[in-house]
Amino acid sequence: MSKTLVEKIWDAHVVKSEAGFPDILYIDTHLIHEVTSPQAFDGLRKRGLPVLRPQQTVATADHNVPTLNQLLPIKEELSRYQVDMLTKNCAEFGIELYGLGHPFQGIVHVIGPELGITLPGKTMVCGDSHTSTHGAFGAIAFGIGTSQVEQVFATQCLLQQKPKTMKIEVNGVLGQGVTAKDIILYIISKISAAGGTGYFIEYAGSAIEALSMEARMTICNMSIEMGARGGLIAPDQITFDYIKGREFAPAGEEWDKSLAYWKTLYSDADAQFDSVLTFEAEDIAPMITYGTNPGMGMGIRETIPATQSQPDKEQLSYEKALAYMGFEDETSLIGKPVDYVFIGSCTNSRIEDLREVAEFVKDKHKAENVTVWIVPGSKQVEQQAINEGLDKIFEQAGFQLREPGCSACLGMNEDKIPAGKYCVSTSNRNFEGRQGPDARTLLVSPLTAAAAAVTGKITDVRELLVKA
Amino acid sequence: MRKFEKLTSAIVPLNIENIDTDQIIPARFLKATTREGFGENLFRDWRYNGDNTPKADFVLNNPTYSGKVLVAGKNFGCGSSREHAAWAIQDAGFDVVISSFFADIFKGNALNNGLLPIQVSEDFLAAIFAAVDKSHTAQLEVDLEQQTVTIADTGEQSSFEINPYKKSCLINGYDDIDFILNQKDLIEAFEKAR
Ligand code: SF4
């Protein structure tokens, strides 16, 4: 019988399937971090249970960590306590921890792939919604709540309803200055912040196949912003080349065996999806969000849709969102001054993102009125940036290269955007207060963020690019 | 987990769409390492000004509204996977959340904690909002066994869907871990066979 990629991986991991019950799904890899794990460890203690397969669990500290002076004790007491708690719990339950100071530390969704832990055909979970990132390798990867973290600790399994499947095809060639981030912001703006709910999305089509692994991760990362359980892309030569030689990637005979299996991981030609959507790469411009959910996005030269054009029941919320942002119906954002530029988060903090920004800002300088933070996704990304001399370029441009962590993506540490200020951000959520109480977030690609940094206002990056 | 029984209660209406988990409980309040106490910061930035004084026009600060049922607009609980959102709602005294659409992870988290998410049609949701508009103390009856929710004042009733397994978990107060642990042999057999 023909199967979709999701079905192939799912079926290979079902421990038990019984009518009227969710499937018992086996989990290959469990990633954890300091914020969503302590209550799960507590739960285990109360039940008197060990972590069933500690060697299939990897921990890092990322959400709460400072991005300056990481080797000093964390100043904020509650943050320090939470990070210390993770260290204690990992020691007690025998889990490998890449904590502060470790050369592998970083945002959980950045380190999995770069260490070769994320592999095609795996099932992976983490108490974090952006676990969908790992789907870029052709894995079933999704975010879970803390009760489920405890469940995976205790049983290495999850009770899960088999998801519906959706295929999103993007065909054609992207224009200059248009990147993976623009593709995904475009799709979300078309299908809304809830348009993927209940689905696992497979991205396909020539525009997707042409993307690097980093770019594919950016796309899969934001699947959750349309409500999808996860997103994935069939592995191909680009995937295999990326994985080969990484720290924990299979090697030697294991590699050959794995590769043979990975090559079977695609949706059969006549496989049935519950829903199929198709987009054209040529239609996509550099994108920007103007509201308070990621579905409120538009091409950077467009004007904000009128409240009147929204469905009746949603006009109140829409109006409220624009008021929060300080924007008005049917206006353009081009030329609007910005206060902060944040380049980071599990969406766009990989070495490719930093390279792209560095290449653009080389011999340029940030505008007076903006503060620019570049927060690498991991220690390894940071090191690589330094090895390639990107740190010098950023320094000359007046950009601050900080230490790895989630940082201003969610403002749990000190990196908060002040109330009322505008932040052009490469992260994934523009919710009210996401980057700090009353902060205003505009989601964009790293290139568009770099353009705003240099001009101090919202800019169509294509105007600053040398014509190819 | 607490057992869920029938419930009759007044309603707290929050007629806003796309309420995300960052509104339910902002990230800066996720630093606790236990499950308790998050209710204090439920809808923190809608409830309080920057100087911690309550915002008078927010529904949770309006004493004429009370009850164990939170009713909200479409796509409730979108955003992050933080279970703290479900804990906060529960900790603030709610047993049921009603919306015309829930984000997946939130729904799962709620069910795993004995907080019942009830999805109703847009029209029925509008009927509930209309009923509270008319009388702030309008009562709602929730019957999990029968899978119905009824507006007491008008008698309007809607049925709702719930996974039968999850329903029995709620009614009996047991959870997924108990269920899977009973099948540990199967897990080991699965691992051996790979
Ligand atoms: S970078 Fe942002 S979205 Fe990614 S894991 Fe951290 S907090 Fe979540």
Q: What are A268-306's pLDDT values in tens digits? A: 999 999 999 999 999 999 999 999 999 999 999 999 999
Judge whether residue A337 has pLDDT over 60. Answer: yes
CA distance linking residue A408 with residue A375, whole number of Å: 9
CA distance linking residue B80 with residue A429, whole number of Å: 9
Judge whether residue A461 has pLDDT over 90. Answer: yes
Span B90-100, pLDDT tens digits: 999 999 999 99
Q: Are A285 and A175 in contact (CB under 8 A)?
A: yes
- Flag whether the pTM goes above 0.80: yes
Give the residue ranges of DSSP H helices in A193-292: 206-209, 213-221, 237-243, 252-262
Mean of the per-residue pLDDT values of chain B: 94
Query: DSSP secondary structure string, B121-156?
Result: -HHHHHHHHHHHHH-TT-EEEEETTTTEEEETTT--
Contact state of A24 with B180 under an 8 Å Cβ cutoff: yes
Q: Say which residues have a Cβ less than 8 Å from residue B164's Cβ, sequence separation at least 6.
A: A20
Judge whether residue B43 has pLDDT over 70. Answer: yes
CA distance linking residue A54 with residue A43, whole number of Å: 16
Q: What spatial distance separates the first Cα and last Cα of chain B, rounded to whole Å?
A: 34
Judge whether residue A106 has pLDDT over 90. Answer: yes
How many residues can be counted in chain B? 194
Residue B174's pLDDT is what?
A: 85
CA of A77 to the centre of ligand 1 (A): 21
Judge whether residue B112 has pLDDT over 90. Answer: yes
Q: Which amino acid does the sequence have at A351?
A: I
Report angle CA A170, A176, A178 to the nearest 5 degrees: 50
Which of B16, B30, B191 is the closest to A412 by Cβ? B30
Query: DSSP secondary structure string, A337-381?
Result: B-SEEEE-TTTS-SHHHHHHHHHHHTT----TT-EEEE--SBHHH
Q: Which amino acid does the sequence have at B30?
A: L
CA dist B164 to A300, B144, B147, B181, Å?
A: 47, 11, 11, 19
Q: Say which residues have a Cβ less than 8 Å from residue A90's Cβ, sequence separation at least 6.
A: A59, A96, A97
Categorize the per-residue pLDDT at A113 as very low, low, confident or very high, splitting at 50, 70 and 90: very high
Contact state of A39 with B34 under an 8 Å Cβ cutoff: yes
CA distance linking residue B99 with residue B106, whole number of Å: 12
Span A149-192, pLDDT tens digits: 999 999 999 999 999 999 999 999 999 999 999 999 999 999 99
What average pLDDT does the segment A23-28 reach?
A: 98
Query: Which chain A residue lies closest to B168 (C-alpha atoms)?
Result: A21
CA dist A169 to A181, A208, A233, Å?
A: 15, 8, 11
Three-state secondary structure call for residue A73: coil
- B-chain CB neighbours of A36 within 8 Å are 81-83
Look at residues A184, A459, A196 and name the one whose alpha carbon lies nearest to residue A348. A184
What average pLDDT does the segment A404-429 reach?
A: 96
Query: DSSP secondary structure string, A161-198?
Result: PPPEEEEEEEES-PPTT--HHHHHHHHHHHH-TTTTTT
Span B163-175, pLDDT tens digits: 999 999 999 888 8
Residue A467's pLDDT is what?
A: 63
Span A375-400, pLDDT tens digits: 999 999 999 999 999 999 999 999 99
Residue B18's pLDDT is what?
A: 93
Span A146-160, pLDDT tens digits: 999 999 999 999 999
- A-chain CB neighbours of B50 within 8 Å are 419, 437-438
Which of A15, A24, A129 is the closest to B105 by Cβ? A129
Judge whether residue B46 has pLDDT over 90. Answer: yes
What average pLDDT does the segment A78-97 reach?
A: 96
Q: Say which residues have a Cβ less than 8 Å from residue A48's Cβ, sequence separation at least 6.
A: none
Tokens 């994935």: give the residue. A232
Three-state secondary structure call for residue A303: strand
Residue B4's pLDDT is what?
A: 85
Residue A1's pLDDT is what?
A: 83
> Residue A425: in which H helix or E strand, if any?
strand A422-425
Look at residues B87, B1, B73, B80 and name the one whose alpha carbon lies nearest to residue B36. B87
CA distance linking residue A132 with residue A113, whole number of Å: 12
Residue A241's pLDDT is what?
A: 98
What average pLDDT does the segment A400-429 reach?
A: 96
Span A205-245, pLDDT tens digits: 999 999 999 999 999 999 999 999 999 999 999 999 999 99
> Residue A422: in which H helix or E strand, if any?
strand A422-425
For chain B, list the strands marked E by DSSP.
7-14, 69-72, 96-99, 116-119, 139-143, 148-151, 157-159
Residue A464's pLDDT is what?
A: 95
What distance in Å separates residue B34's CA from the closest CA in chain A?
Answer: 5
Residue A468's pLDDT is what?
A: 54
Look at residues A169, A129, A34, A125 and name the one whose alpha carbon lies nearest to residue A428. A129
Best of B19, B76, B83, B99 to disrupt the A interface (most A CBs within 10 Å) is: B83
Q: Which amino acid does the sequence have at B7?
A: L
Contact state of B112 with A145 under an 8 Å Cβ cutoff: yes
Q: Which two tokens stand for residue B119?
A: 């999805």
Q: What spatial distance separates the first Cα and last Cα of chain A, rounded to whole Å?
A: 47
Q: Say which residues have a Cβ less than 8 Å from residue B123's Cβ, sequence separation at least 6.
A: none
CA of A343 to the centre of ligand 1 (A): 13
pLDDT-above-90 percentage for chain B: 90
CA distance linking residue B96 with residue B108, whole number of Å: 14
What does R_g of chain B's alpha carbons equal in angstroms?
18
What average pLDDT does the segment A40-56 reach?
A: 97
**For residue A85, with 0-12 CB atoms within 10 Å meaning exposed, 13-18 middle and 19 or more buried, which class applies?**
middle
Judge whether residue A424 has pLDDT over 60. Answer: yes
Q: Which amino acid does the sequence have at B75?
A: N
> Residue A30: in which H helix or E strand, if any?
strand A29-32
What average pLDDT does the segment A254-264 reach?
A: 98
Range of lowest pLDDT (B40-44, B153-157, B168-172): B168-172
pLDDT-above-70 percentage for chain B: 100
**What residues are in contact with ligand 1 under a 6 Å CB criterion?**
A 62-63, 107, 109, 128, 130, 345-346, 406, 409-410, 427-428
Categorize the per-residue pLDDT at A322 as very low, low, confident or very high, splitting at 50, 70 and 90: very high
- A-chain CB neighbours of B74 within 8 Å are 194, 313-314
